[in-house]
Amino acid sequence: MKLGLNFLPTVGPGEANAADYYRECLELCVLADRLGFSHVKAVEHYFCEWGGYSPDPCAFLSAVAIATHRVRLVTGAVIPAFTHPIRQAASLAVVDNLSGGRLDAGFARAFLPAEFEAFGVPLAESRARFEEGVRAVERLWREERFRWEGTFHRFGPLPPLLPRPAQRPCPPVFVAATVSPESFEWAGRHGYHLMIIPLVASHERLSALLDLYHRARADAGHPPTARMHVSYHLYVAEDPAEAMELAAAHYAAYQKKQIEAYSSWEGVQSDQYPGYEKMLDAVRATSFADLHAAGKVIAGDVDAVTDQLREVGRLYPGAEVSLHVRYGDTPHAEAVRSVTLLGERVLPRLSRAATAGGPA
């Protein structure tokens, strides 16, 4: 099983200035690189303390690229609706070159009405802008004398994009999909990889959506060897009672800021996001204990966390697991402890199980 780190900041100036936060996150990335983690992932969000310290994943991952040697760098994800495809393709290509070809390029639609309003982009255009943006970026990487005649952007013919990506013809492309069948089908039809979040959907629902994705891949003639990232909040400590107590407390702080961000859905409905107006009430009604009992968050001592990760491997065979270890008000020292225990004690157990032919 491959484990990586997922960074969705839930911090603001009242708790830590941005420079200190980025320095501490880079320390976690260097530690993860040394301990054999597979990747580092960064999101794109704006303004709210839920995500707002990560408006530019490419800038952060460029710093990670210089500080590390092995981990892959994942945009989890950038948002085509808010960025011109030429700018997006070029920024991602810089990260790929700085890292020596370690970029996995993940794209998402975005979903917070306040962010769309800030950029002057209608929610009704989100899917069309997303799909056009991903296709345009990929073709800018692959083609020369490229001309694009889309609904939202028209440009070219252009000389070859510079820099060219280090990975040829282009970095692996991932699509973030949560609960929309259209997203899973579109990603499969175009042969893209997936990023999913079990926190927001039941395993049964995700299984049906993944079946749709794999059928779409097969029908379009793409090979079945797709990659998939699954993301979880994780807290691990030596003492099981301490782990559960602190994990729940930090998640409550995370949830408070999540609710603040999701409040932009109040009074909003969109046929592009059916049911999203109900998310706020759903988050308010869900406790950490509920999520842990349902296997949607991971917490406990080394033995418990190892077992929970093995269960993730059983549910999503071959998935690369992205772990959010600094969520809510988790202090840096506790995040370092989680990464250290994962690298020194959990990963070796998972590796031995896989070598022995058992579940990873």
Q: Is the pLDDT of residue 358 over 60?
A: no
- Residue 67's contacts (CB-CB under 8 Å, 6 or more residues apart) are 26, 29, 30, 33
Q: How far apart are CA 229 and CA 320, in angstroms?
A: 5
Residue 282: pLDDT band with limits 50, 70, 90: confident
Contact status, residue 54 vs residue 60, Cβ threshold 8 Å: yes
Tell whether 135 is covered by a domain. yes
Q: Cα separation of 346 and 341, whole Å?
A: 7
| pLDDT band at residue 217 using 50, 70 and 90 as cut-offs | very high
Residue 125 lies in a domain: yes
Rank 138-152, 270-284, 295-309 by mean pLDDT and report only the highest: 295-309
What angle, rounded to 10 degrees, do the helices at 332-341 and 18-35 form?
A: 10
**What is the average pLDDT score of the chain?**
95
Region 78-97 average pLDDT = 98
Quick check: 17 pLDDT over 80?
A: yes
The model's pLDDT over 153-205, given as tens digits with 9 standing for 90+, comes to: 999 999 999 999 999 999 999 999 988 999 999 999 999 999 999 998 889 99
131 has a pLDDT exceeding 90: yes
Q: Please give the pLDDT value at position 80.
A: 97
Considering the domain boundaries, does residue 67 fall inside one? yes
187 in a structural domain: yes
Task: Quote the number of domains for the chain.
Answer: 1
Predicted confidence (pLDDT) at residue 357 exceeds the cutoff of 60: no
Distance CA 54, CA 140 (A): 25
- Is residue 354's pLDDT more than 70? no
Q: Which helix or strand (DSSP H or E) is residue 72 part of?
A: strand 72-75
Instruction: Specify the pTM.
Output: 0.94
Report the percentage of the chain scoring pLDDT > 90.
88
Q: Please, where are the H alpha helices in the chain?
A: 18-35, 57-67, 85-98, 113-119, 126-142, 181-189, 203-219, 240-262, 279-284, 288-293, 302-315, 332-341, 347-355
What's the confidence (pLDDT) of residue 352?
80
Question: Is 118 part of a structural domain of the chain?
Answer: yes
Neighbour tally for 330: CB within 10 Å:
24
Which amino acid belongs to residue 123?
L
The average pLDDT across 271-282 equals: 85
Structure confidence by residue, pLDDT tens digits, 58-69: 999 999 999 999
* Per-residue pLDDT, 138: 97
Give the tens place of pLDDT for each residue, 239-252.
999 999 999 999 99
Q: Is residue 281 part of a domain?
A: yes
Q: Which domain holds residue 196?
A: 2-355
| CATH number of the CATH domain containing 172 | 3.20.20.30
